Amino acid sequence: MDSRNMEKALEIYAKLTMGEEIKRSHPENGSLYEEYEQNAEVYEILNQILKKLNLTVYEYREALYLSAGEGNRVFGYTNEELKRLMGLRYNKELYMGYYVMYRLLLCFYKDSATYQYREYVHLEELVNEITVSLTAITSDLQVYAMEDLEENSFKSIALLWEELPLVTGEEREQLRASRASQMGFTKLVCNFLVNQGLLLEAGDRYYPTDRMKALTEQYFEEDRGRIYELLERGEEHAEH
């Protein structure tokens, strides 16, 4: 193993974990992208390091993006950490947040054959998509009591969503992120994604960043099947 290649692989790893951009057009780190793209040993060393640390690197539009694997306690978030970051109190609210994120992905990206993205999604449109999809999954909600459901089931999520008003009186003039309404809750989740560098916000419109597009493509290629199957079947104990 060439020591220079090991050094370059470690340099790429260090910059990615510190949140720096590794892209061909970057004035300082462009050469590192070239190393990853053209030097097979650098590519292999970096991916071996990341695999050991339960990390994955995604390539999109001549740029590299890092993502933590499931259960990664160092680079990822625990459920408790996510609840704190999003201002949520209960696990069922967090699972609802996961579902909002999933529907947002579907709004942006539905065609895995062409990788075509919509330019943006309106907040109100996203709320409507969530309502319609949950209604389709659990059309017989009235026969279920909340205490009889697992807090992470789709029916429990749908009941929680149904209990929220579309907007509160305070939000009618100026919408604010909160847990008190469907609009406010959705905005709460979108604000978190903006802070994570996954969305850009302009008024009531949300635009996906290249990082979001990179992670979305990888998700649809590797993981979509299981979640899509759970959604289609509407399983009562399907976990996100």
For residue 30, what is the domain's CATH number? 1.10.10
Q: Which residue, 42, 68, 94, sits at the end of a domain?
A: 68
pLDDT at residue 175 above 70?
yes
Residues 119 and 193 in one domain: yes
**Which residues constitute the domain of residue 42?**
3-68
| Shared-domain flag, residues 60 and 114 | no
Domain end marker among 31, 47, 68: 68
Q: Quick check: is 121 in a domain?
A: yes
As given in the structure block, the two tokens for residue 151 are: 């807090």
CB under 8 Å, gap of 24 or more: what pairs does 73-77 form? 75/17
Choose one of 68, 100, 125: the last residue of a domain.
Answer: 68
Say whether both 191 and 92 belong to one domain: yes
d(CA 25, CA 15): 16
Q: How many CB atoms are closer than 10 A to CB 232? A: 10
> Are 21 and 116 found together in one domain?
no
- Residues 56, 152, single domain; the answer is no
- 218-222 own/partner pairs: CB under 8 Å, 24+ apart: 218/56, 218/58, 218/67, 219/105, 220/105, 220/109, 220/112, 221/112
Do 196 and 175 belong together in one domain?
Answer: yes
Residue 153 inside a domain? The answer is yes
Cβ–Cβ under 8 Å, residues 93 and 83: yes
- The answer on 138 and 28 residing in a single domain is no
User: What is the pLDDT at residue 111?
Assistant: 56
Is residue 83, in this structure, part of any structural domain at all?
Answer: yes
Answer whether residue 73 is part of any domain: no
Q: What is the pLDDT of residues 137-169, one digit of tens each?
A: 766 555 454 444 555 577 788 888 989 998 876
pLDDT at 237: 35
Same-domain pairing of 15 and 117: no
Do 63 and 177 lie in a common domain?
A: no
Is 50 exceeded by the pLDDT of residue 29? yes
19: confidence class by pLDDT, cuts 50, 70, 90: confident
- Of 34-48, 49-63, 67-81, 179-193, give the lowest mean pLDDT range: 67-81
The count of structural domains within the chain is 2
Q: Report if residue 239 sits inside a domain.
A: no
**Is residue 238 in a domain?**
no
- Is the predicted pLDDT of residue 193 greater than 90, yes or no? yes
Cβ-based neighbour number of residue 59 at 10 Å: 16
Residue 97 included in any domain: yes
Assess whether 127 and 207 both reside in one domain. Answer: yes
Share of the chain above pLDDT 70, in %: 77
Q: Please indicate, yes or no, if residue 74 is contained in any of the structural domains.
A: no
Q: Let me know whether 133 and 163 are in one domain.
A: yes
Instruction: Quote the pTM value.
Output: 0.79
Same domain, 56 and 96: no
